[in-house]
């Protein structure tokens, strides 16, 4: 499966900074909608999307803020995404008695549609270039740290001003490593109701082994309906359903939200990632998974609670392992070295370029040197792993930050960001303190092992006691799992938090200053230098290569194009499509043993199915984690598929795109309809998706 | 597909020589029946085959002398093998009007069973150790060349004596690089009649792309019946058919004839292969394929004629390319280097071993140095590619060789070998002079390019003229395609050949002395040195490691054991089995386009089939080209499958066996029955295979 956006340190720390425009090969590219690849499309495919086409596609595309993409697929608010994007909400809607993640869900009437706990969906309604404004906030004579603060202050001001003026979610986005800044305004939806999800076993057939591979046999879909004022949202910007769906060798598009790429990192940055970040991330996930599996082994209810968490970590682990292999590949590193050398000689070939940009690589190298020293304290001086501890830490930070002028606050706590932040802070989603106890114990044990007993964070958190003891007592006594308690703390402000005797709030308070110091050190000694150098590199790239390029991914809306196409694999060819036949082949090939077992409904209703129906397909579309749930479109902007994964060969796509074997994996539009009609008795929903008129169901009339 | 035995230069030149016993890892090993791995089997699987079990398996196993394996599967002479082993005979039986290779064949009665043109089947009936006899034929003071001649003379004498005494085919086989010599006696069958073959498209579904890969979906089977004195052979040594067939994780055996391995070649030999032999072989096959494809493009009849030839070359090319990649792999070479270094230090650790064997590696190195100089003339001073030219050359050599004392003849022309040789020389199989013209032209053109216009062979063959002109005239005028003409020449002896004005005989005569000289140089300067050194290495290995080992493959009967088991592949797991569902998935995945199209009968009769039937399966069985058609057996020596291929990861098996991913691919016994009964209406044949009694068909009574 394509990872949902993984908020790794990579994303958090670097995504705003050192990337830059790229030169493009083949179907490569994640293009912003202000700079679509019209020339390339015309040259390669003889197709030029009109401005209306582009606007329609943009306005029908949806961002799932908990880490994925989606799209409107009906005039009355139906939104299609992946099961694994919906999984977080499915987990939150589930109870010990009803496991929607595992068993699926179908609302036969609108009244049965279930409101999700804390979904936020965004539609990009406008884009304004604010580069001059942000860059000119930096005053002559400011050093790197001051410059970073000035830019951040201007960004916060711009976002707040826009929010006040328009009421729309307003994000300033750094593209091309700060070569450009854009104000993106989003229409925001928070009443998002579940309409349909299949069983996890068919959505994620083949489980962890088949994840990120192809040929593949997954119905990784889910359908929500978006409401406003308790009524389904009406929109003319939705994708018409193509039952024929994707065809071999056809031109297709994807409009979605790739999370983060490192394609233009400098060599010293890649080396830092390779030598420090990946090994730490991988060993962290491995031990956290072990802790969660031990928790899950206590019983079926514990297994249910850990379901989506385990999936997310397994998914991230497989992705990171593939990326790590890629970044360790000598050929790939040689290619990156060659690219950087060419870029540097181009810049060094013109004296004015040299003086303006030439120092950037050495500046980055200096930042990476410090990063190697600061990374472990930065990463392990935090309460990680547990969502309850995360909520506690966020509340402790929140009440302090909101007392400051907007410009001086930590990222994530600016005025324009508070509404979305509160959606999570006050979410009614259930929490499981025993599970949080297991993961927080492991997390603190790891901090102890990585930093030693004398580290100030470890001392503040543990006070010399074993992590298990501290965490057991903390989780036993905390009320942070109760949304009304969290609300009361936030409402009470700093005074209430300072006075709280809730043990988890106390723990978060005890470590707060150490956490802040580590974050500050990282910001001042790494981020600020990378940021300034990154802006130079971004400008240098415009100077050297022009803007016939796309910026690294930033979890903002992008357009990619490609061809439905098989590829050479394992000595033979992978086809462009799989069929329902293949689902049953793979299941019986493994003797129906998990993770290759068939949901009962699929086994029982096999004879109803047209087994020649295409199930999944691959294309050269350039995607990455965050693109999960994106629509695949044909020239008519009809929906022909649903992105849910990249193949194993695409994992190095974080650093390089290789058109020969890099493939996006999607659910075919025909199999979604086949499944809805013949397995799930969801004919009315299929009709709505296909725009087939039929009398509104009686129950819909009494919809709330 | 597993290659049928490919008679490359590797096999021809080296297989008798420098190999030696191996230390064994896991399920590795191609064991001789005189030294079965009883200890290993007991340790790993708790199973010890009895002497009766071993004898039964040996006597039910069959060698197809045109390059493959098979087994008796009924008490009345039915022999099961692969379609691609039978393909040569299917090609020879076909006519412009009836293409059995493409369309398949089923004899509803015994009267309809079709006698193949020149099949020779062998069953190994006895094995005698003649090591002392052969080794002591070398007299003190003989140099390497004389020693080689002495051994060859003794081998020819032994074979002739055995033939005269027993009437059985008698071959002396060098094992462990001449560490041992064995006299193998074979019961020989030459009345081999075709009973059943499916369409090539289902036998070789997926064509060249899927060849040597897994998951796989092939019904690569064919069935002959062996006759003697115009009656089906009766035997109690046949394998009972297991309809349940192979099961996941089950212990299985294979009894077949692996052609040749290079696992114990020295490093200098491997380097010679890597640097010289593989590149030449690969470029030769590539150009020959181009010539044949150009010929095939002239029309459907030409395509038919070239069918099996093209398949064979494509098969060899894919195998060689995989082997070449393996031998170029730095890790594999490092492993081989480590092994050799360990072996050498062991030998150098004992003074008496050092003096007896220590010089062998340097002697081999010296031979390889000469081989690098002599290889191109040796290889390209021959009339290659064309079977008609091959027949002409064989006749010219034959009439000279048979005038000499047996001991002095070239290999292949000894008294004991003449009967099998004549089977081919006088075969009634059709020939196609236009196709031979195309390939011989290409072959002579290549000799010209590789050796230059002044080379004595090139001069003798072309006399300064373009290859196309020479070959056109030669093929237009020759009668070598006529078996009775060939018989008359052989009968007329040297005088008849010398007097012949047949242009192809004249061409073969013109080059004969140059060919002989090149062969002699190779024998005296390379083969003799390798042979003597190889014997030392073989003995050294016995001294160092004992005989808990198996010799390199020599196209003689071997027993391997292993487990039915999937393996890690392309980021996920390959299952141990595929099913009939998968056949239809892969066909429809590629839109039924060749080579993924379905034979009409399979498409029409799909609904009759139980699609959960296992189609192909993989196991850790250690096999290589020549094993094609071997039976896969369970502990009860029941037939559970039919070997037809190795996976792509197994191609390096020529040099190293890796239990993690090296897999043998087999047709499952259940799918053969399913196909026979439901697709081919061959119920009576299925009954016979399964031992289900039913009245003999009426027509059988009037069988000839």
First vs last C-alpha separation in chain A: 36
Q: Which chain A residues contact residue B321 at CB under 8 A?
A: none
Within 10 Å of residue B508's Cβ, how many Cβ atoms? 26
Mean per-residue pLDDT, A235-258: 97
Q: Which residue has the tokens 């993409």?
A: A69
Percent of chain B with pLDDT over 70: 95
The DSSP H or E segment spanning A100 is helix A100-103
For A215, A217, A302, A636, the CA distances from A253, given in Å and listed in that order, are: 21, 22, 41, 10
Place A18 in a pLDDT band, splitting at 50, 70 and 90. Answer: very low
Cβ atoms of A663 and A564 closer than 8 Å: no
Contacts of B571 in chain A (CB under 8 A): 212-213, 318, 322, 647-648
In a mutational test of the A interface, the residue from B216, B323, B579, B581 whose CB has the highest number of chain A CBs within 10 Å is: B581
Residue A565 lies in a domain: yes
In a domain, B80, yes or no: yes
Q: Count the residues in chain A.
A: 704
Dump pLDDT digits (tens) for A136-170. Answer: 999 999 999 999 999 999 999 999 999 999 999 99
**Residue A209 touches partner B, C-beta closer than 8 Å:** yes
For residue B7, pLDDT over 50 is answered with no
Q: Is residue A231 part of a domain?
A: yes
Q: State which residue of chain B sits closest to A578, comparing Cα positions.
A: B589
The domain of B22 spans 7-120+190-263+550-690
A244 in a structural domain: yes
**Residue B453 to chain A, least CA–CA distance (Å):** 39
Residue A20 has pLDDT above 70, yes or no: no
Distance from CA of B576 to the nearest CA of A (A): 7
Is pLDDT above 90 for A683?
A: yes
Interatomic CA distance for residues B75 and B78, integer angstroms: 7
Q: Looking at residue B603, which CATH number applies to its domain?
A: 2.40.10.120
Q: Is residue A330 part of a domain?
A: no
Does B347 map to a domain? Answer: no
Q: What is the mean pLDDT of residues A68-86?
A: 98
Domain count within chain B? 1
Residue A529 reports pLDDT greater than 70: yes
Mean pLDDT, to the nearest integer, of B658-666?
A: 96
A617 in contact with B, Cβ within 8 Å: no
Q: Across residues B566-587, what is the average pLDDT?
A: 97
Rounded CA separation B301/A596 (Å): 47
Residue A283 lies in a domain: no
Confidence check: pLDDT of B339 > 70: yes
Record the tokens describing residue A570, joined without a space: 């394992």
Q: Does A572 touch chain B (CB under 8 A)?
A: yes
Instruction: Give the residue from A324, A585, A590, A662 with the most B CB atoms within 10 Å of its CB, the best one to mutate.
Output: A585
* Cross-chain residue pair A589–B612, CB shorter than 8 Å: no
The proportion of chain A whose per-residue pLDDT surpasses 90, expressed as a percent, equals 92
Scored b (16 or more CB within 10 A) or e, A179-212 reads bbbbbbbbbbbbbbbbbbbbbbbbbbbbbbbbbb
Mean pLDDT within A530-552:
90
Angle at A618 between CA A563 and CA A664, to 5 degrees: 90
Distance from the A652 Cα atom to the nearest Cα atom in chain B, whole angstroms? 13
Token digits of residue A459: 């001392």
Contacts of A576 in chain B (CB under 8 A): 589
pLDDT band at B124 (very low <50, low <70, confident <90, very high): very high
- Nearest Cβ partner for A570 among B573, B585, B648: B648
Write out chain A residues lying below 8 Å of B590, CB-based.
566, 575
- Among the partner-chain residues A210, A211, A582, the one whose CB lies closest to the CB of B585 is A582
How high does pLDDT run on average in chain B?
Answer: 93
A663: in domain: yes
Q: CA of B616: which chain A residue's CA is closest? A: A589
Strands (E), B513-598: 558-563, 567-569, 572-574, 577-579
Q: Which of B212, B572, B590 sits opposite A209 (nearest CB)?
A: B572
The minimal CB distance from B573 to the residues A209, A569, A576 is found for A209
Instruction: Tell me the chain B residues in contact with residue A212 when contact means C-beta distances shorter than 8 Å.
Output: 571
Residue B633 and residue B57 in contact, taking contact as beta carbons nearer than 8 Å: yes
A-chain residues within 8 Å CB-CB of B579?
584-585, 588-589
Q: Is the pLDDT of residue B702 over 70?
A: no
B464 reaches A (C-beta below 8 A) = no
Interface check for B2 against chain A (CB to CB < 8 A): the answer is no
Query: In 3D, which of B480, B517, B514, B513 has the Cα closest to residue B395?
Result: B480
Q: What is the phi/psi pair of residue B311, to 5°? A: -55, -45
pLDDT in tens, B77-112: 999 999 999 999 999 999 999 999 999 999 999 999
User: Average pLDDT of A403-415?
Assistant: 94
Residue A210 has pLDDT above 60, yes or no: yes
Q: Give per-residue pLDDT as tens, A547-570.
A: 778 999 999 999 999 999 999 999
Range B269-281 average pLDDT: 97
Q: How close A580 gets to chain B, by Cα (Å)? A: 7
Q: Which residues on A lie below 8 Å from B584 (Cβ)?
A: 579, 581, 611-612
Interchain contact, A581 vs B582, CB within 8 Å: yes
A575 touches chain B (CB under 8 A): yes
**What average pLDDT score do residues B544-565 get?**
93
For residues A228-255, give the mean pLDDT.
97
Segment B628-649, tens digit of pLDDT: 999 999 999 999 999 999 999 9
DSSP string, B225-259: EEEETTEEPP-S--PPB-SS---TT-EEEEEE---
CB A554 within 8 A of CB A11: no
pLDDT at B22: 41
A664 to chain B, minimum CA–CA distance in Å?
15
SS3 at position A37: coil
> What confidence tens digit (pLDDT) does each residue in A446-462 have?
999 999 999 999 999 99
What does the alpha-carbon distance between residue B496 and residue B501 come to, in Å, rounded to a whole number? 10
Q: Can you spell out the DSSP letters for A369-419?
A: HHHHHHHHHHHHSS--S-HHHHHHHHHHHHHHHTTS-GGGSPTT-SGGGHH
- pLDDT at res. B2: 54
For chains A and B, CB pairs below 8 A equal 92
**How far, in whole angstroms, is CA A312 from its chain's centroid?**
11
pLDDT for the residue numbered B264? 86
pLDDT of residue A547: 78
Averaged over B114-138, what is the pLDDT?
A: 96
> For A494-527, how does the pLDDT look when each residue is reduced to its tens digit (9 = 90+)?
999 999 999 999 999 999 999 999 999 999 999 9
Bond into A633 cis (ω within 30): no
Does a cis peptide bond (omega within 30 degrees of 0) precede residue B595?
A: yes
ipTM: 0.92
- Tens of pLDDT along A659-668? 999 999 999 9
- Chain B window 278-337: which residues touch A at a Cβ cutoff of 8 Å? 318, 322
Contact call for B581 and A572, based on CB within 8 A: no
Q: Most A CBs within 10 Å: which of B244, B247, B319, B571, as the mutation test of the A interface?
A: B571
Res B28: pLDDT:
94
Q: Is-contact B2 B645, C-beta < 8 A?
A: yes
Closest chain A CA to residue B207: A572
Residue A5: which pLDDT band, with cuts at 50, 70 and 90?
low
Q: Look at residue B12 and tell me whether its pLDDT is greater than 50.
A: no
């Amino acid at each position: 499966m394509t990872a949902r956006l993984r908020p790794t340190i990579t994303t958090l720390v670097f995504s705003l900074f050192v990337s830059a425009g790229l030169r493009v090969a083949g179907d490569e590219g994640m293009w912003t909608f202000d700079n679509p690849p019209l020339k390339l499309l015309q040259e390669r495919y003889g197709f030029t999307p009109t401005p209306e086409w582009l606007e329609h596609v943009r306005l029908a595309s949806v961002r799932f803020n908990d880490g994925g993409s989606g799209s409107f697929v009906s005039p009355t608010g139906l939104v299609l995404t992946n099961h694994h994007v919906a999984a977080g909400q499915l987990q939150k809607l589930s109870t010990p008695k009803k496991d929607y993640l595992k068993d699926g869900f179908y609302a036969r009437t609108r009244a049965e549609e279930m409101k999700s706990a804390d979904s936020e969906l965004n539609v990009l309604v406008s884009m304004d270039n604010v580069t001059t404004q942000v860059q000119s906030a930096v005053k002559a004579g400011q050093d790197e740290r001051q410059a970073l603060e000035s830019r951040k202050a201007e960004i916060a001001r711009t976002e707040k001003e826009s929010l006040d003026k328009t009421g729309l979610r307003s994000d300033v986005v750094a593209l091309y490593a700060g070569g450009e800044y854009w104000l993106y305004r989003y229409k925001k939806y928070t009443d998002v109701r579940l309409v349909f999800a299949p069983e996890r076993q068919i959505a994620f057939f083949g489980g962890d082994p088949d994840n990120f591979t192809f040929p593949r046999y997954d119905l990784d879909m889910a359908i929500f309906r978006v409401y406003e004022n308790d009524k389904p949202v009406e929109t003319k910007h939705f994708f018409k359903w193509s039952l024929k769906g994707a065809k071999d060798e056809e031109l297709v598009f994807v409009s979605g939200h790739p999370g983060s790429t490192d394609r233009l990192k400098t060599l010293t940055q890649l080396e830092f990632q390779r030598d420090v970040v990946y090994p730490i991330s991988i060993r962290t996930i491995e031990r956290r998974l072990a802790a969660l599996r031990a928790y899950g082994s206590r019983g079926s209810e514990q297994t249910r609670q850990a379901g989506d968490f385990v999936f997310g970590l397994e998914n991230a682990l497989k992705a990171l392992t593939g990326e790590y292999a890629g970044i360790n590949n000598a050929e790939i590193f040689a290619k990156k070295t060659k690219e950087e050398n060419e870029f540097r000689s181009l810049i060094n070939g013109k004296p004015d370029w040299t003086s303006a940009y030439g120092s950037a690589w050495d500046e980055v190298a200096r930042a990476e040197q410090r990063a190697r020293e600061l990374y472990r304290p930065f990463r392990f001086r935090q309460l990680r792993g547990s969502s309850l501890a995360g909520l506690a830490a966020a509340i402790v930070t929140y009440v302090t930050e909101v007392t400051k002028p907007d410009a001086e606050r930590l990222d994530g706590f600016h005025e324009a960001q508070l509404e979305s932040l509160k959606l999570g802070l006050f979410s009614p989603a259930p929490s499981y303190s025993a599970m949080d106890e297991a993961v927080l114990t492991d997390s603190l044990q790891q901090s102890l092992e990585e930093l030693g007993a004398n580290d100030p964070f470890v001392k503040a958190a543990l006070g010399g006691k074993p992590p298990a003891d501290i965490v057991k007592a903390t989780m036993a006594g905390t009320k942070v799992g109760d949304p009304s308690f969290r609300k009361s703390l936030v409402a009470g402000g700093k005074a209430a938090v300072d006075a709280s005797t809730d043990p988890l709030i106390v723990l978060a308070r005890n470590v707060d200053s150490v956490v802040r110091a580590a974050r500050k050190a990282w910001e001042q000694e790494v981020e600020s230098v990378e940021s300034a150098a990154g802006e130079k590199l971004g400008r240098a790239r415009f100077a050297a290569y022009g803007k016939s390029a796309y910026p690294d991914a930033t979890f903002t809306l992008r357009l990619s194009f490609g061809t439905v196409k098989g590829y050479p694999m394992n000595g033979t060819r992978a086809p462009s499509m799989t069929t329902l036949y293949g689902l049953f082949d793979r299941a019986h090939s493994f003797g129906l043993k998990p993770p290759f077992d068939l949901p009962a409904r699929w086994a029982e209703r096999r004879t109803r199915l047209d087994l020649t129906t295409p199930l999944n397909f691959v294309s050269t579309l350039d995607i990455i984690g965050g693109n999960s749930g994106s629509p695949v479109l044909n020239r008519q902007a009809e929906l022909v598929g649903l992105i849910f994964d990249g193949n194993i060969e695409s994992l190095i796509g974080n650093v390089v795109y290789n058109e020969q074997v890099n493939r996006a994996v999607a659910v075919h539009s025909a199999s979604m309809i086949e499944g809805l009609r013949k397995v799930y008795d969801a004919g009315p929903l299929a009709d709505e998706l296909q725009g087939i008129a039929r009398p509104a169901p009686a129950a819909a009339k009494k919809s709330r």
